[in-house]
Amino acid sequence: MGDNKISVLIIDDEQLLTKSLAAIFEEKGYKVKTTAFGKQGIEWLEEGFNVVLLDLKLPDIDGLQVLKKIKRTYPGIVVIIITAFSSVNMAVNLMNEGAYSYVSKPFEVEELRELIDRGLKAKADENNKHRLLNNLSLLYQVNREMEGLVELQSIAGLTARYLIGITKIDICALLLFDEKTKEFFFGALSGVEYNLEQIAQKRFKLDKKMYQRLIDEQVAVLIPHLKTKPDILKYIPASNPKSLCIFPLVGREKVRGLALFVSGREVSIEEDVLETVKTITTQAAICIENANRYLKLKHDYLGAITALVGAVEDKDEFQQGHSEAVAELAVKVAKKMNLLSDQVEFIRLAGLLHDIGKISISENILLKKNKLTVDEFMKLKMHSIASTSILRKMDLNQQILPMVLYHHERYDGSGYPEGLRAYAIPLGARILAVCDAYNAMVSVRPYRKNLKQKDAIEELKRCSKSQFDPDIVDVFVNIVA
């Protein structure tokens, strides 16, 4: 029944009673339908009733069968039994089968009306409790999945998927806010096919009125029936939009983005769904703030690392740009090997930092044009240990240190500092070994000229299985050849 009136179905074969109840309840604003037959009542249930008044003695089937069918198929309906026969045992049985309560004939209509009101309130309380538990469970799941996310597109994509599932609205776009330029850009778009690379390049501003409401006042915009097409919909691939809902993603203080819903039908969002949407968008905003802080710290951190690497390479003009080149090559190899994004990042940092220990090596050794003495070579070999000693004092992921320490180990076990061999050498260190050697060969050194690319590749192949991991050499050659 398509409105907010309380709808009552009376299933009872006493026509005088049903007509009297129908007249009284309709006068009080209820929508009422009556039938003498249980099977007919079961067929009508799909019309959507709040309350069923059910007699146990029916001409076609037993009223208890009707009760069981109602509670099995439409558990949200409040069922009140009307019977001429009652006992304590009957009451217990009826309650066990899902009836809210019962009244014995004859009864006062006001008594029945109060019973209906109590039943509806109890059902509403039960539904609210159920929704609350569901929402808490959902929010816990969202929070758990967002925890630790630092990529803005990942946060936006996860948020959009949850929001479209909760609201059941056709399209959900997560727009991220650039506070410096006052522009928005797409973080995710759910419910429609799209090319993320293309839409991610689109940047746009809100009109003054929309900006004031969403950003300055931090208030949602809900338009259940669109009369005109707002400018913002020019950027959403939606045909014939009829409703628009926009929620600001408000973090600890500021708006970090927008959750925009578009539908081809008129949409109204229930109050409990609105609260859930607001909670999830707030969680997303806080997660975006945390990600932005992490990205800034990472930027500052990488700046400090780059400065430190620069200080090392300033001691040796032939080494300038070496660490960045090694890191770039190592990332390409790691991605080609389908390593996880975290692992790729660790390898990149290890590539940048692998020679940091050379800051403790004398320039006389680093820039020497003649062959190193045994003592000088031993001092040079200590740079990987010195690098690890320096990095151990920094707040680095522990996976980075072994990559730096062992990047001069050899696949056959004849390397340094510990003589590890084959798969005992960490994967990141084996990748760095190939990339480090290649960049060194194609670069000028004080004691030799650089090799041509093809000659360096041939040297890698020649030393495959002895100095280098053959699988990594194969991947590397496919990348640079």
> Per residue in 343-395, pLDDT tens?
998 999 899 888 877 766 666 666 666 777 778 777 777 878 887 887 776 66
Sheet containing strand 78-83, edge to edge, reads 31-35, 7-11, 51-55, 78-83, 101-104
Task: Tell me: pLDDT of 67 over 80.
Answer: yes
CA angle 384, 389, 395 (to 5 degrees): 120
At 253 the pLDDT is 76
Fold of 7-127: Rossmann fold (3.40.50)
Is 3.30.450.40 the CATH number for 148-292?
yes
Report yes or no on whether pTM surpasses 0.85. Answer: no
What's the DSSP call for residue 374? H
Which H helix or E strand runs over 248?
A: strand 243-250
Fold of 315-480: Hypothetical protein af1432 (1.10.3210)
Query: How many other β-carbons are positioned within 10 Å of the β-carbon of residue 245?
Result: 22
Which residue would you say has higher pLDDT here, 157 or 312? 157
Q: Which residue has the tokens 């419910």?
A: 191
Task: Give the confidence band of 2 by pLDDT, cuts at 50, 70, 90.
Answer: very low
Query: pLDDT averaged over the chain?
Result: 84
pLDDT of the residue at 313:
61
What is the spatial distance between Cα 394 and Cα 359, in angstroms, rounded to a whole number?
A: 16
Query: Can you list the alpha helix ranges (DSSP code H) found in 254-382?
Result: 271-314, 322-336, 341-353, 363-366, 374-381
Listed residue (442, 453, 461) closest to 481, CA to CA: 453
- Per DSSP, the chain holds a count of helices (H) and strands (E) of 18, 11
Reply yes or no on whether the pLDDT at 427 is more than 90. Answer: yes
pLDDT tier for residue 431 given thresholds of 50, 70 and 90: very high
Q: Over range 85-106, report the average pLDDT.
A: 76
- Cβ atoms of 267 and 243 within 8 Å: the answer is yes
Q: Which residue has the tokens 């996976």?
A: 399
Domain positions in the chain = 7-127, 148-292, 315-480
The predicted structure's pLDDT at residue 365: 65
pLDDT value of residue 224: 83
Nearest residue to 164 (alpha-carbon basis) of 281, 61, 249, 80: 281
Bridge partner list, 81: 54, 102
